A and B are shown apart, each in its own frame.
Chain A
Amino acid sequence: MSPLIQFRNIAKVYGTGNTEVRALWDVNMTIDSGEYCSIMGPSGSGKSTAMNMIGCLDQPTAGEYFFDGQNVAKLAEDELAHIRNRKIGFVFQQFHLLPHLTALENVEQPMMYAGVSSSQRQKRAIAALEQVGLGNRVNNRPNQLSGGQQQRVAIARAIVNNPLLILADEPTGALDTQTTQDVINIFSELNKSGITVVMVTHEPEVARLTNRIIWFRDGEVLNHHLAPEELASVTAMPV
Chain B
Amino acid sequence: MNFAESLKMATKTLSANKLRSGLTMLGIIIGNASVIAMVGIGEGAQKYVNGQLQDLGPNVLFVVPGNREARQLGDLDIPRTLVLADAKAIATQVPSVAAVAAEKSTQGIVNYRNRNTSTSITGTTQGFLNVRNFEVAQGRFLDDLDERSNRLVAVIGSTLAERLFDNESPLGKQVRIKGITFEIIGVLEKKGSSLGLDYDDSVMIPITTLTSRLVGRTSPYGIEVGFISISAVSQEAMETAEFQITNLLRLRHRITAGDDFYIQSQDTLLDIANTVTGALTLMLAAIASISLFVGGIGIMNIMLVSVRERTQEIGLRKAIGASPKDILSQFLIEAVILSALGGLIGTAFGAGGIFLIAAISPFEAGVSVSAVVVAVGVSGSIGLFFGVVPARQAAKLDPIVALRSA
Contact = CB atoms under 8 A, between A and B. Distances in A.
Our verdict on whether A and B bind, yes or no, reads yes
A110 B321 contact: yes
Contacts of A21: none
Interface in A36-82: 52, 55, 57-58, 77-78, 81-82
A90 B400 CA distance: 12
B9 A112 contact: yes
Decide if the interface of chain B is mainly helix, strand, loop or mixed: helix
Given A52-B400, A57-B400, A92-B403, A100 B16 contact: yes
Contacts, number: 63
B12 A84 contact: no
Contacts of A81: 318, 321-324, 326
Contacts of A13: none
B80 interface: no
B166 interface: no
B320 A84 contact: yes
Given A100-B13, A113-B326, A85 B321 contact: yes
B380 to A, nearest CB: 24
Contacts of B318: 57, 81, 84
A86 interface: yes
B267 to A, nearest CB: 61
Contacts of B312: 96
Contact of B321 (A96, A100, A114, A118): A114
B272 interface: no
A86 B321 CA distance: 8
A98 B322 CA distance: 14
A69 B279 CA distance: 69
Interface in B1-45: 1-2, 5, 9, 12-13, 16
B81 to A, nearest CB: 82
23 contacts: A52-B400, A57-B399, A58-B400, A78-B323, A81-B321, A81-B324, A84-B319, A84-B320, A86-B321, A92-B316, A92-B403, A96-B312, A96-B316, A96-B403, A100-B16, A101-B12, A109-B317, A110-B320, A112-B9, A113-B321, A115-B1, A115-B2, A161-B321
User: What 3 A-B pairs are tightest by C-beta distance, nearest first?
Assistant: A85-B321, A100-B16, A81-B323
Interface of B: 1-2, 5, 9, 12-13, 16, 312-313, 315-326, 399-400, 403
Interface of A: 52, 55, 57-58, 77-78, 81-82, 84-86, 90, 92, 96, 98, 100-101, 109-110, 112-115, 118, 157, 161
